[in-house]
Amino acid sequence: MPSLIRKISDYRMERLQVHRVSVADQVAGILRQRILAGELRPGTALPEVSVSAALGVSRNTLREAVRILALEGLLKRDIHRGVSVSHLSIADVEEIYRLRRMLEIPAVYAARKPSVEILRQMRSLVDEYEAVVHARNWVRAVGVDFQFHTQLIRFHRNNRLESFYQKLIGELRMGMVLVDRVHDDPGGLIPVHREICELLAAGELRKCAVLLAQHLDDSEARLRDIVSRYADLRRVRTGT
């Protein structure tokens, strides 16, 4: 595995940078990506031997990667029974959205003097979202959507909060990708996101907060719907 990395870059600088990440972290990244892309669906078991063999790393390394993802909430570990991709329950969705409200809405007010940098980022993310939706790349769209909200959180200027928030939306993302078909109206978010930017720039924080709250409600309702529908589907398939 390390030799593969070596091959990609011969330049000393790059090699150093790439190499600073341990293999375990890289493996965690790969698995995270596959989970968030919906490739590994909730409930999928990840037997250590076969997975480590498939990825070309040792069992121990895979274990470290799994430990990371388990602490992130993406994988579930049942002792002596193996790991599997976590399920997102309605309760989880509700819990996470209560947190999003608790964190994102104050973020708007924290943007009293909004950072130009963050605002610029947000605007470019809206553009990117538009492009991605146009290209009908739904998985990527979900990612960009969440990046937009992460920028919002950055107004708090708090690293711990930011990484916690990213962990949260990581879990949500796992639920979002359950639908391979377009979820209701993915393009509908564009004007909302754009208006959030403008209201922030104009200092209309109250209006912005209201709009955001409403946006979050919508988003939660949509995800609830997806999750409950998926739960039914699973129930039927399992025969419970």
Partner DNA sequence: AACTTGTCAAGTGTTGAACAACATTTTGGT
Partner DNA sequence: ACCAAAATGTTGTTCAACACTTGACAAGTT
DSSP-derived letter for residue 114 is -
- Angstrom distances, CA of residue 77 to CA of 72, 86, 180: 12, 9, 26
> Cβ of 178: how many Cβ atoms within 10 Å?
19
> Cβ of 146: how many Cβ atoms within 10 Å?
20
Side-chain-side CA neighbours of residue 210 (13 Å): 4
- Taking CB under 8 A as the rule, does residue 109 contact a copy of itself? no
Which of a copy of itself, DNA, none interacts with 99 (beta carbon under 5 to 8 A by kind)?
a copy of itself
Residues 62-81 that bind DNA (CB under 7 A): 63-64, 77, 79-81
Which of DNA, a copy of itself, none interacts with 128 (beta carbon under 5 to 8 A by kind)?
none
Stretch that binds a copy of itself, among 130-138, 141-149, 153-161, 224-232 (CB under 8 A): 153-161
Q: Which helix (H) or strand (E) is 24 found in, with range?
A: helix 23-36
Q: Looking at 49, 102, 116, 236, which residue binds DNA (CB under 7 A)?
A: 49
Tell how far CA 48 is from the center of its chain. Answer: 24
**Contact between residue 108 and residue 205 where contact means Cβ atoms under 8 Å apart:** yes
Q: Looking at 36, 57, 144, 169, which residue binds DNA (CB under 7 A)?
A: 57
- Taking CB under 8 A as the rule, does residue 79 contact a copy of itself? yes
- Taking CB under 7 A as the rule, does residue 43 contact DNA? no
Query: CA-CA distance, 114 to 51, in Å (whole number)?
Result: 45
Sign of the dihedral through C-alpha 200, 205, 207, 213: positive
- Taking CB under 8 A as the rule, does residue 36 contact a copy of itself? no
Q: Residue 182 carries which side chain, given as an amino acid letter? A: V
Stretch that binds a copy of itself, among 32-40, 91-99, 220-228, 231-239 (CB under 8 A): 91-99
Q: Residue 16 carries which side chain, given as an amino acid letter? A: L
Q: Looking at 17, 50, 82, 98, which residue binds a copy of itself (CB under 8 A)?
A: 98
Stretch that binds a copy of itself, among 134-142, 161-169, 181-189, 217-225 (CB under 8 A): 161-169
Which of DNA, a copy of itself, none interacts with 95 (beta carbon under 5 to 8 A by kind)?
a copy of itself
List residues near DNA by CB under 7 A. 1-3, 6, 19, 22-24, 45-49, 56-61, 63-64, 77, 79-83
